[in-house]
Structure 1
Amino acid sequence: MTTHLPDESASAIPSSVIQVRGVRVHNLKNIDLDIPLNQLIAVCGVSGSGKTSLAFDTLYAEGQRRYLETLSPSARQYLNQLPKPDADQITRIPPAIALRQNTSQRHFSSRGLESTAGIESGIQHYLRLLFSASGQIFCPNCEIPIAPQTPETVLAFIKSLPTEIRYQICYPITLGEQSLSEIIQELKQQGLNRIILNHEEYQLSDDAAAVLAQADARDEEILVVLDRLTTRSIDEQRILESLEFAFSESSGQAILLVMEPLENQATGIPFSIGQQQILRFDFSADLSCPQCPLEFAQPEPQLFNFYSPGGACSHCGGAGTVPTTTGTNTIEICSHCHGSRLNPSALAVRVNGHNIDQLGQLPVQQIPDWLEQFSKGLSESEAQPLTPVIREIRDRLSLMIELGLGYLTLNRTRSTLSSGEIQRTSLTSLLSSNLVNTLYVLDEPSSGLHPADCHRVISVLQKLRQLNNTLLIVEHDAAFIRAAEHIIELGPEAGKAGGEVIFAGPLEALKTSEISPTGRFLNSTETAPLKTEPGQPASDWITLTNATRNNLQSITVRFPLRQLCVVTGISGSGKSSLLEQTLFPLLAAQLSATRSSQIDAGSVSLSGADQIDEVILLDHSLTGQNPRSIPATYLNLFDEIRSIFAQTPDAWLRNLSPGHFSFNSKSGGRCPVCKGTGKIEIDLQFLADLTMDCQECHGKRYQRELLDIKYRKLNIAEVLELTVDEAFPFFRGQSALQKKLKQLKDVGLGYLPLGQPLPTLSGGECQRLKLAAYLNTSSRNKTLFLMNEPTRGLHPLDIQYVLNCFNYLLAAGHSIILIEHNVDLIRAADHIIDLGPEAGAEGGCIVVTGTPAEVAAHPTSYTGMALNAKFS
């Protein structure tokens, strides 16, 4: 098979390439490659051709392994267990970092708290540092700044009082282990002769007996009067000496009793001595308000972290919401923290007029101005230690804005972000590191992006490459492949029919390649004709009126039934808000309740739901997925496979039941070390966790006894390594099993190994796995399927598999509504709903609806421009 590898016979391999020889990871067939350094490289090929095996399981794994070998011996205590990729030689590979595109990324902390855009982008971490270093505490009741008090600050307060004001300087004590008589004796020895107890003032020399009679509570506060003064003349030395004595005797507390009412001054705490009403001001070396009893924690980074017990709201635990008492499935904003998720001490800290929650509610594009105003107000000595923090915040904000995320707020929870927003937010954290001479391995950076948004990410990748970095992107998107300086295509097909290098070289050579499917796709100048009429005219519609979720601008939308309807628009235009957060919950509520012709939820109303029997949302997640979940268990294939192995003669002789072939059961034959996962996780603490094959079972999941049992010359671990396409003929004669495998083939998952852990699947693969599960049922209900980007992770040649499934469902009388950015699928739609015109507050409107031809004719529709190939 012809490839465009450099001619090694002419000269030695140059030092500007990663030299890869004899790679046999997964389905890679002993491939050789020279990968240029300091370039943007696209790895493409049909789904299952070996792209991830090369990019992540070979290059990233080896780059990470070699970097870790440079660490100290204490940090490398586990590295002798880290396996090398199966390859003859890999040279000149730089340190590597990666961003995978799958649903196993942690959305929640160990305490079950959801992440935010600020956390995902890394900005929140630096804001915590800024607020802990420069924040000023303000009492929320009195609106006065709070700081640790000193004798000098109390003197300044006294000097701010009007003239002719009488006041007393006191300090508090409690009885503790001493008796009142002992305390009085000590005070007399110090020359102090006045105290206030139970709001009565006593002179110790005359009223000792009366004082003793009043002392009936051990915890009663006693105020010791140090000095009685007036503001007519200020004796600073005398005042400071009294205050210093007060602070030292009471562990940092002083009390000022103002004997006259104050006008246009801080009110203080009402207090009485006998019948006289006065004002009390408390001053503390700790952080407490002098006018009300509130105390505050010292600002430090964890105070602003709702994942930390020291920062989280004590009522909602940092969730921001609490379950209502009227229902088990509803929640409401926590009234104590107003949804901020933080405790009062954190919310009391302000920088440039905002607390950290208020700042997180601003659009990202407004925060640079706030940061600039703050920076201008700093002195040179104040600015110097903050310079690195401010620079990091500014750079990450700029990157988010450059990626088109300026409309987002940092407080937006991850579940409310679209897939494109999540992808770009994660890219912000990864790409803002400003590392040099590093290998970045990215899995589909185009994921979730409208064609109009792709140029933003490409521009950022190119800037990162200009810092002498090497960027290796696994991609199917034409715009990203065209932007690459070097292209590697694997194939020619999936699974064992793939794993070969069918092209390696520049774009122009790819276009002239006779064997490259990607080249043919990119080189095609003839576009498919735009659909002018739907395949089946819609006679029934579901109408959603006055949708206002997130940025939706009170829109009314009509969705056709028994057609392929596609909701489009640039990332952040409101597609997920419309489909997943508005239409689906309303339909689900109505279909599960009264089935009336209309349901009203506030101002939003829905009609037409009586024309369907059920609604199914196929999102990018898989319920209950864990490292032991695999496609074979998700579709109940594994039960039949285990029964087949249990019926073999060797299994009969050893009295093995189907349960013994389960790697989920403690009583089965699973490996006792990895407990059936085949993997061991290593916690490096200061770095991301490492995952490696279990050294006991070598990734096979089972004990040796179970691996001795074979069916058609393969043991059960080897069967789980088969792809769906390979398993289909292997299980000939097993009609029920083959039927389920056929559904997986039909949704384009023929390349998927039966035992691949579900957390490693992409979002698009998860959706298609769910779709296969529903295709396997024989429901006669009229079902509305809602899906979000089912083509994610698919090569253009594989999209036809999904379209065939959609046609099957439509022919059976079902209805389909998709969120999609893929132009090929949009072209196949019967009806398009295009949202926009922009993102965030400038989106949420209907730009145009109709057939692909009608959308393409619209002058301002970004989707129309994409259909006209103006973003190619």
Structure 2
Amino acid sequence: MPTSDIIIKGAREHNLCDVDLVLPRNQLICLTGVSGSGKSSLAFDTLFAEGQRRYVESLSTFARQFLGQMPKPDVDHISGLSPSISIAQKSAGSNPRSTVGTITEIYDFLRVLYARVGQGHCPECQRPITAQSREQIIARIMSQPAKAKFAVLAPVIRGQKGEYRDLCEDLLKQGFVRARIDGQIVQLTDNLSLDRQMRHDIEVVVDRLTNTLAIRSRLAEAVETALKVGEGSLIIAPESAEPVEGKTHRRSRSKNPTDIFFSADYACNECGLSFQPPSPQLFSFNSPQGMCYECDGLGQMFSFDPSKLVTDPAKSFAQGCIELVGGWKDLGRWKRHIYKGVADTIERKQELADGMLLETAWEELSEQHKHYWLWGTGDQHITYTWRGGKNSQKYGGTFDGIIPELLEKYRGAKSKSLIAKLEKFMNVILCPDCEGQRLNPQACAVTLSALHPDFAKQPKLSLPEVSALSIEEAEKFFDQLELDKTGQTISSEVLKEIRGRLGFLTNVGLDYLSLERTAPTLSGGETQRIRLAGQIGCGLVGVLYILDEPSIGLHPRDNDRLLATLERLRDQGNTVVVVEHDEDTMRAADHIIDFGPGPGVRGGEVVAEGNVSAVCKAKRSVTGAYLSGKREIKVPKKRRIEWPDSAHEDEGAPALRILGARHNNLKDIDVEIPLGAFVCMTGASGSGKSSIFSDILVETLRRDLNNGKGTPGEHDRIEGMEHLDKMIAIDQSPIGRTPRSNPATYIKVFDEIRSLYAQLPESKRRGYKPGRFSFNVAGGRCEACSG
């Protein structure tokens, strides 16, 4: 026994019976045995708990208060223990901002890559972003209205935490007197006290001017200074501009929507637009600099669902296809003149027939025209005509759209009946601004080009488009990028990390996932394998890794790749302990420890230890009996349903038929499920099993059969529900978190036990009811610990 081995003596946690073990270091060790025999008690509640406890105890008292310390396990002695990392089958959390890309840190490297070597484009005209001269900036500033007052600002801090006392002192020494901090003009000589925990925007006031022909030389000097201090950027802040009262503005990144931003290095000369220099924060949907302004970087928003809003698509807008708007005759004069002005302006600009937008059935309108009605016309100038008596008055404006108007009504509603009425037409929908891409227009317009033949039709992809690719496709995209020599030098280390981590995800059988896949939608097995891939990328050495059934939910096709990943983790110089029932894993392990002989109180012993042949020879080992072939699960000789080669034997047998399933990766398929039988659906990981059963079948039956809330995936219809009475869905979600719940209370058997005790003669004499035997009710529970 080498001195470096992990020695366990007298482990008694849970049902373990004074277990003594020696775990060889730097080997792949498989803990197996029947369910409940004590595998997890040794692996997680003894080994991991003690390793974690010793690590936390080595930290300072200050650091320990932030970490949850695990209790000391019931064990006599453990020696040779390394720092331990547990990779268990728990969900990755319910935060929709967490994705496969952020969990594996691939997205962090992608943000750096796009910020440093990505090619920016103008969001308006899609032309490449280029530099602009000082003269062009001065000409655009002087194109403002005459006598307009404005300040020339140089941005020095953008959304960063700190007090910035030294910065203010340096600016004073350079001769600057004023600065705009978080939107407020302040004197730099004042005793400024900024909250170091808050993010701040600081812009230096270079000069304050009035737009006349005589200011050109002074303006040129101010622009030159501002570009120098602001490192190529400056802001023109009009002093008299005020937002229009009562006008609903689309949300904007800037705290001062009237600001005009100029950049010497990043601008579109055709559109006259300037942009912030790209930084990694620009490509983060969790940062105010990069997130979509409308959905705050979630890609989805709770708003009015067009499919619910348009109650009768066969009707036209004037006929009342939108119930909350009503028919033309039900509208007041003010509303009619607004909608008439929108329709007339669009028809005139696009040369459409008169009355086309108002009189055409909704289902026959183009997507663009539907978008005009629902989400507005943007910055397009709309001419409205108000007719009062014999005179008519024309005026101009914009149209925000029906959904923004209803959202404003919903946010200001105080009546519960009005809120309930509006919420009937609302749902979580794709953000109309970013279309689910999460980032703002500037970030979505930066691209990289791939040379792989699979991307010959569309070689240029933005970061959201790359995130939407599967891991397999993303590997091909980053296999060879179109970069110049400078770009190759800059990106070499980042690309190495990206390619390596994508390869790790492929090796654990997750090549079907996309980087944008959110954490709440991942199964426990997928989450575990993602964390496993992340640990390989960390490159730690001398660590004790403890995994809980990593092969669960994995198709046998991908088992070899998973085992190769575990062996790679071991070969890096780590000890890998796996709690597993999979035969391939057992045969690949260096050392097997079999617990048993039974579950619970009948287990807790080590019945076999060694390699596969040693376990097969152990008489008390149930696992060994199955591995050696002495025991087996017999295939039934006769089944309830016999499937001939050509067609079904009984065409009239009751069945559920799912028609036209198109959810996720399903390709408009029809599926028939026979009823009254044990039906198994299988296939490679990510092939669409959960999409058709969990997302379509279960959600539809929950809504239509159980009369509950369900949002099924995209499909045509389901036939055969008349054969069913109700649906019970049993999934892998936890049954609850309350410590008062246990298996007996969950399956209601404890109710029968309490009723039985209440019927005993002694209980009747004392007048005890079933509640007297409940640990949740005062009088029955122990009052010292409240049950």
Task: Specify if TM > 0.5.
Answer: yes
Letter in 2 for 1:553: K
Q: Which residue identity does 2:46 align to in structure 1?
A: T
Output the CA distance in 1 between the equivalents of 2:45 and 2:506.
32
Partner of 1:118: 101
Contact map agreement 1:546 1:554 (CA 8 A) in 2: yes
Q: 1:108 to 1:375 in 2, by over 3 A?
A: farther
1:51 counterpart = 2:158: no
Q: Deviations over 1:779-823 (max 9, x none)?
A: xxxxxxxxxxxxxxxxxxxxxxxxxxxxxxxxxxxxxxxxxxxxx
Query: Given residue 25 of structure 2, which amino acid in structure 1 is its aligned partner?
Result: L
Give, as a single letter, the amino acid of the residue that structure 2 aligns with 1:559. Answer: I
- 2:448 paired with 1:342: no
Query: What corresponds to 1:834 in structure 2?
Result: none
> In the aligned structure 2, how far is the partner of 1:124 from the partner of 1:248?
32
User: Does 1:453 find its partner at 2:439?
Assistant: no
Tell me by how many angstroms 1:136 deviates. 5.2
What's 2:472 paired with? 365
Equivalent residue, structure 2, for 1:435: 540
Q: 1:575 to 1:439 in 2, by over 3 A?
A: same
Per the alignment, residue 728 of structure 2 pairs with: 616
Question: Structure 2: which amino acid aligns with 1:544?
Answer: I
Please list, as runs of the form range in 1=range in 2, the aligned pairs for 1:27-42 lying within 5 A after superposition. Answer: 27-42=15-30
Greater CA drift, 511-520 or 370-379: 370-379
Describe the SS at the equivalent of 1:338: coil
Deviation, 1:558, is: 1.7
TM-score (norm 2): 0.62
In structure 1, what residue type is equivalent to 2:679? C
Q: Distance in 2 between matches of 1:246 and 1:81?
A: 53
Q: Which of the residues 555, 559, 564 maps onto 2:669?
A: 555
Query: Which stretch shows the higher mean deviation, 306-315 or 479-488?
Result: 306-315
Contact 1:51 1:474 in 2 (8 A): yes
1:531, distance to aligned residue in structure 2 (A): 4.1
* SS class of match (2:584): helix
Q: Does the C-alpha gap of structure 1 residues 286 and 584 become closer, same or farther in structure 2, counting only changes over 3 Å?
A: same
Q: Which amino acid aligns with 1:108?
A: S
The question of 1:244 aligning with 2:351 is answered no
Given that 1:546 and 1:603 are in contact with CA atoms closer than 8 Å, whether structure 2 keeps it comes out as: yes
CA deviations on 1:347-402 (whole Å, 9 max, x unpaired) are 3444454332111012222323433444853528x835x55543322211011222
Q: Distance in 1 between matches of 2:483 and 2:265?
A: 30
| CA apart distance, 1:145 | 4.8
Which secondary structure state, in structure 2, belongs to the residue aligned with residue 143 of structure 1? coil
Deviation at 1:100, TM superposition (A): 0.8
Alpha-carbon distance change, 629 to 345 in structure 1, aligned in 2, over 3 angstroms: farther
Aligned 1:94-105 pairs, distance under 5 A = 94-102=82-90, 105=91
Correspondence for 1:128: 111
Question: Which residue in 1 is equivalent to 2:690?
Answer: 576
- Equivalent-residue separation in structure 2 for 1:311 and 1:254 (angstroms): 19
The DSSP-based 3-state class of the residue aligned with 2:680 is: strand
Alignment of 1:532-681 (within 5 A): 533-535=638-640, 539-591=653-705, 604-622=716-734, 625=737, 629-636=741-748
Contact 1:396 1:432 (C-alpha < 8 Å) held by counterparts: yes
| Distance in 2 of aligned mates of 1:288 and 1:460 | 47
Show the counterpart of 1:275. none
What residue in structure 2 maps to residue 276 of structure 1? none
Q: CA RMSD in A?
A: 4.5
Name the SS for the 2:31 alignment partner: strand
Distance in 2 of aligned mates of 1:26 and 1:593: 43
Relative distance call for 1:366 and 1:171 in structure 2 (3 A) is same
Secondary structure (helix, strand or coil) at the match of 1:322 reads strand
In structure 1, how many angstroms separate the alpha carbons of the residues matched to 2:742 and 2:493? Answer: 45
Q: 1:494, CA displacement in angstroms?
A: 1.6
CA 588–50 in structure 1, closer or farther in 2 if over 3 Å, else same: same
Q: In the alignment, is the contact (CA less than 8 A) between 1:168 and 1:225 conserved in 2?
A: no
2:453 paired residue number: none
Contact in 2 for aligned 1:168/1:228 (Cα 8 Å): no
- Superimposed CA distance per residue, residues 248-269 of structure 1 (whole angstroms, 9 cap, x where no aligned partner): 89996499xxxxxxxxxxxxxx
Q: Which of 292, 297, 309 in structure 2 is aligned with 1:318?
A: 297
- Secondary structure of 2:620's partner? coil
Question: For structure 2, which runs of at least 5 residues remain unmatched after alignment?
Answer: 152-207, 237-259, 309-423, 450-459, 643-649
- Of 616, 621, 628, 1:511 maps to 616
Give matches, 1:117-266, under 5 Å: 117-135=100-118, 137-145=120-128, 153-154=132-133, 170=142, 175=149, 222-225=210-213, 244=224, 253=234
Cα separation, 2, equivalents of 1:525 and 1:606? 45
State whether residues 543 and 557 of structure 1, in contact with CA within 8 Å, keep that contact through their aligned partners in structure 2: yes
Q: Which residue of 2 aligns with 1:479?
A: 584
Distance in 1 between residues matched to 2:122 and 2:42, nearest whole Å: 57
- Aligned AA for 1:319? L
> Contact 1:99/1:430 (CA < 8 Å) preserved in 2?
no
Contact 1:169 1:226 in 2 (8 A): no
* Number of residue equivalences: 563
Q: Which residue of 1 aligns with 2:94?
A: 108
Change in Cα spacing, 1:581 to 1:492, as seen in structure 2 (3 Å) is: same
Number of the residue aligned with 1:383 = 489
Whether 1:355 aligns to 2:462 is: yes
Aligned to 1:188: none
Distance in 2, Cα, partners of 1:226 & 1:350: 43
> Does the C-alpha gap of structure 1 residues 536 and 441 become closer, same or farther in structure 2, counting only changes over 3 Å?
same
1:612 maps to amino acid: L
SS for the counterpart of 1:460 is helix
SS of equivalent to 2:109: helix
Q: Is the Cα–Cα contact under 8 Å of residues 170 and 246 in structure 1 kept in the other structure?
A: no
Alignment of 1:760-779 (within 5 A): none
Query: 1:617 is paired with a residue of what secondary structure?
Result: coil
SS at match of 2:478: helix
TM-score norm. by structure 1 comes to 0.56
Contact 2:662/2:714 (<8 A) preserved: no
Conserved 8 A contact 2:607-2:618: no
Letter in 2 for 1:572: G
State how 1:784-863 maps to structure 2 within 5 Å: none
1:25 shift after superposition: 1.2
SS of structure 2 residue aligned to 1:446: coil
Q: Is the 8 A contact 1:107 1:114 kept in 2?
A: no
Q: Secondary structure at the match of 1:41?
A: strand
| SS of equivalent residue, structure 2 residue 538 | coil
Partner Cα distance (1:550, 1:621) in 2? 21
Alpha carbons 2:262, 2:274 under 8 Å: kept? no
Distance 1:303 1:631 in 2: 50
Q: Is the partner of 2:51 in helix, strand or coil?
A: helix
Contact 1:418/1:572 (<8 A) preserved: no
2:279 and 2:607 map into 1 onto residues whose CA distance is 56
**Structure 1 pair 635/435, CA: closer, same or farther in 2 (3 Å)?**
same
Whole-Å Cα distance in 2 between the matches of residues 585 and 106 of structure 1?
A: 23
Asked whether the equivalents of residues 28 and 567 of structure 2 are also in contact (C-alpha less than 8 Å), the reply is yes
Per-residue CA shift, 1:62-101, capped at 9, x if unaligned?
Answer: 2222333444554245679653222111111111111112
Q: Cα–Cα, structure 1 residues 302 and 545, in superposed 2: closer, same or farther, change >3 Å?
A: same
What secondary structure sits across from 2:6 in the alignment?
strand
Name the amino acid aligned to 1:62. Answer: E
Hey, what's the Cα distance between the residues in 2 that align with 1:27 and 1:249? 69
**How many angstroms apart in 1 are the aligned matches of 2:67 and 2:736?**
31
Higher relative contact order (CA 8 A, sep 6+): 2
Contact 2:470 2:512 in 1 (8 A): yes
Q: Secondary structure at the match of 2:133?
A: helix
Deviation at 1:316, TM superposition (A): 2.8
Deviations 1:408-446 (A, max 9, x none): 321223455566544433332233322111111000011
Amino acid at match of 2:94: F
Rounded Cα–Cα distance in structure 2 between residues aligned with 1:349 and 1:246: 26
CA contact (8 A) 1:171 1:225 kept: no
**Within 2, Cα distance between the matches of 1:437 and 1:248?**
51
1:674 aligns to what?
none
